[in-house]
A and B are shown apart, each in its own frame.
Chain A
């Protein structure tokens, strides 16, 4: 991939992760991750037993999708840290957009580290995942 430029503090990128998230996408995540909790794929159990309005996405699906914004920016091996809180549930039909903003650029020896604030929101502007990440430039 192309050489990653050192970003400026305040620089920001946004990406639409899912437009109209499908139940099948959530099933794909269950299959790949090994988290087969029926809350994410079994509408009968989730509505009749667990009492939710429908199945909902794994938090880790939203976090994983958010990671795409970071690896597209800093490369597939660019991250040194990535942490989030799961602040709202993600439902089938949601549209998710992720934004990452540079908070600091610092040197650790001859390595340049970029600290970012990361937020993924739904179509109502409600955050679903919010957190921070650190990337290293051209390690």
Chain B
């Protein structure tokens, strides 16, 4: 994801913490002793992924006036291209605490790629995408996220 402006806000970290089932007030309540102990509300360790909310091109969000591949009147609204990539691995490196009040920017680059054979003979194509989240104020690195996607290519050629 490439995001120009990802403001880290307390309502968002609260909703995210609820969504992962984590009741720690350090992620939600600025008045709590848990937040005070770490200098204010901070984001849960995987929160950087919620930057998708600020990606104008996020293909996994329905947009007004555009077809959506999920169901409506029909089980699917459109044929989807570029699908079929599964999330195989995820790594975060933390350079400093991710705090409410920060505004992040991201840069994305491709990392390594490699292939593996599955037991059924299919080829699994792995590829890394590395996203750096920087504090827009200081330009310091906050989080580096490495996502590994995998796409499967069947062993036998399909008939169509």
Residue among A29, A45, A86 making CB contact with B19, cutoff 8 Å: A29
Using known A-B contacts A45-B76, A76-B24, A82-B91, determine if residue A34 contacts B52 with beta carbons closer than 8 Å: yes
**Distance A79 CA – B16 CA, assembled complex (angstroms):** 18
CB distance from B107 to the nearest CB of A (A): 19
Residue B156 is within 8 A (CB to CB) of chain A in the complex: no
Interface of B is mostly: mixed
> In the complex, what residues of A have CB within 8 A of residue B61's CB?
34, 36
Asked if A35 and B42 sit within 8 Å, CB to CB, the answer is no
Binds B, one of A5-13, A57-65, A105-113: A57-65
**Distance A59 CA – B149 CA, assembled complex (angstroms):** 12
**Distance A95 CA – B53 CA, assembled complex (angstroms):** 28
Residue A104 is within 8 A (CB to CB) of chain B in the complex: no
For residues 48 through 71 of chain B, which have their beta carbon under 8 Å from a beta carbon of chain A?
Answer: 49-55, 58, 60-62, 68-71
**Distance A29 CA – B21 CA, assembled complex (angstroms):** 9
> In the complex, what residues of A have CB within 8 A of residue B51's CB?
34
Besides A32-B12, A64-B22, 19 other A-B contacts (C-beta < 8 A): A17-B21, A18-B21, A28-B15, A32-B16, A34-B55, A34-B60, A38-B68, A42-B70, A58-B87, A60-B90, A65-B21, A68-B21, A68-B24, A71-B22, A72-B24, A76-B24, A77-B42, A84-B89, A86-B88
